Amino acid sequence: MSLLTRPNELSLEKIIPLSTSDTLRNNFMVLDAQLPANIRFGLLLEIMDTLAADTARMYVNQFYKDAVVVTAAIDTIIVRSPADISKDLIFKSRMNYVGKTSIEIGIRIEQSNPTTHIATCYFTLVARTGPRDSRVSVELPTLEYIDDMEKRRYQKAIERKEHYLVQRNLESQPPSLEEYRLLEGLHKTQEESDFSGLLASKLSLTSWERTFPVYKNPNQTIFGGYLARRSYELSTMCAELIATKRPIIAAVNRMNFLNPVKIGDKLLFKSNIVYTHKSFICIETTISRMGRYEKKISNLTDSCLFTFVNVDEKLKPHPVETIYPITYFEDQKYLEARRSLTSIFTDIKGGLLKESELAHFD
């Protein structure tokens, strides 16, 4: 049998038949009501992670029969249209790029009648071999990018890698004069005798949980998608601390998975509201882990930022209160989220982060 070596051959499709299954609709809905955007986005993250790994394995296992693939990162996801719980969800994956040991898989989520683009997401996975506790990354043969679309997707994958590195660097820069003045204003307001604003330090939620074998992937570790879902779910509850209506997801910035999680590990999820702007609520969530018999916590992911929009039942955005950072750390998180949101605004023209919302970004 000939090897699959072109991106066009390394593609999978998964359909969740919501239109014909009451049970599935019940599993996927957030609230038992007729509402737009009433779909559990966390479950979509799980499905995408599994599909990305299945697609990557199609390639990797041709060369290394026993190799596993692990999720290293999930790139920015922008929700383009609200999903409809009464229509099927169609997930289409494709391998865009193979590096030395890493692979980028793009996944597009659509609904039909009419065709609606819900979101696109890019996963980076790494091929690894060896016993679970001492795995090493393995070198992969390069893909053959032959037609224009394959070449274009390859080029875009390289640009995304570069963009992420530039963005990561920008986010850690000291404040500009304009940002300094913004923070100064927020701190001065807190000194007023009648100050009654919302303090960022009060707007957080934490949750501990144990990992069980039911969440394990073929690598005998815990699915990245499961962690992404749990982070998202805590973030939504955190957004509700400030939302006046219903917070729905507009964008997820990148998630990097630094260390594997073993079955039986204890996980600590922490969500904080770090920034608000008009109807947007930015939540930073971190995950840490502690081995079953360990006493020390170690970082599992970089922080992950979720941007929610506070909307009514017709998806009309409603403003939320300004939040006030106090400490240096909270100032830093405030600016990081503001910069990340500005960058997403700059990159996109539509979706739930609509232009009308951008008009007065200050």
Ligand X SMILES: CC(C)(COP(=O)(O)OP(=O)(O)OC[C@H]1O[C@@H](n2cnc3c(N)ncnc32)[C@H](O)[C@@H]1OP(=O)(O)O)[C@@H](O)C(=O)NCCC(=O)NCCS
The answer to whether residue 257 forms part of the interface with ligand X (CB under 6 A) is: yes
Looking at the Cβ atoms of 221 and 276, the one nearer to ligand X is 221
- Are 242 and 321 in contact, with CB atoms under 8 Å apart? yes
Strand partners of residue 248 = 309
**CB contact set of 134 (below 8 Å; sequence gap of 6+):** none
- Please report how close the Cβ of residue 22 comes to ligand X at its closest, in angstroms: 32
Distance CA 232, CA 205 (A): 12
Q: Which stretch binds ligand X (CB under 6 A): 68-76, 110-118, 165-173, 265-273?
A: 68-76
Q: What does the per-residue mask of binding to ligand X show for 4-43, with x meaning CB under 6 A? A: ----------------------------------------
Q: Which stretch binds ligand X (CB under 6 A): 145-153, 170-178, 259-267, 351-359?
A: 259-267
- Are 254 and 75 in contact, with CB atoms under 8 Å apart? yes
Omega before residue 141 within 30° of 0, cis: no
3-class DSSP assignment, residue 81: coil
Kindly state the tokens that stand for 200. Answer: 């960022």
- Please report how close the Cβ of residue 326 comes to ligand X at its closest, in angstroms: 31
Residue among 19, 129, 256, 343 that touches ligand X (CB under 6 A): 256
- Please report how close the Cβ of residue 102 comes to ligand X at its closest, in angstroms: 3
The answer to whether residue 76 forms part of the interface with ligand X (CB under 6 A) is: no
Distance CA 15, CA 91 (A): 6
Distance CA 287, CA 207 (A): 10
3-class DSSP assignment, residue 86: coil
The answer to whether residue 227 forms part of the interface with ligand X (CB under 6 A) is: yes
- Please report how close the Cβ of residue 155 comes to ligand X at its closest, in angstroms: 16
Residue position matching structure tokens 């957030």 = 30
Looking at the Cβ atoms of 164 and 308, the one nearer to ligand X is 164
C-alpha angle 273/180/349, rounded to 5°?
Answer: 60
- Please report how close the Cβ of residue 28 comes to ligand X at its closest, in angstroms: 23
The answer to whether residue 72 forms part of the interface with ligand X (CB under 6 A) is: yes
The answer to whether residue 74 forms part of the interface with ligand X (CB under 6 A) is: no
Q: Which stretch binds ligand X (CB under 6 A): 18-26, 32-40, 94-102, 308-316?
A: 94-102
Q: What does the per-residue mask of binding to ligand X show for 114-153, with x meaning CB under 6 A? A: ----------x-x----------x----------------
DSSP state of 142: P
- Please report how close the Cβ of residue 49 comes to ligand X at its closest, in angstroms: 8
Looking at the Cβ atoms of 64 and 117, the one nearer to ligand X is 64
Looking at the Cβ atoms of 124 and 276, the one nearer to ligand X is 124
Residue among 10, 48, 69, 73 that touches ligand X (CB under 6 A): 73
Distance CA 183, CA 165 (A): 26
Q: Which stretch binds ligand X (CB under 6 A): 10-18, 55-63, 113-121, 257-265?
A: 257-265
- Please report how close the Cβ of residue 200 comes to ligand X at its closest, in angstroms: 27
Q: What's the gap between Cα 191 and its chain centre?
A: 36
Strand stretches in 194-279, DSSP E: 198-199, 204-210, 246-252, 255-256, 266-277
- Please report how close the Cβ of residue 126 comes to ligand X at its closest, in angstroms: 4
Q: What is the DSSP string of 42-77?
A: HHHHHHHHHHHHHHHHHHHHHH-TT-EEEEEEE--E
Residue among 51, 70, 203, 252 that touches ligand X (CB under 6 A): 70
Distance CA 325, CA 322 (A): 10
- Residues of the shown chain interacting with ligand X in the complex, contacts defined by CB under 6 A: 70-73, 99-102, 124, 126, 137, 221-222, 224, 227, 256-261
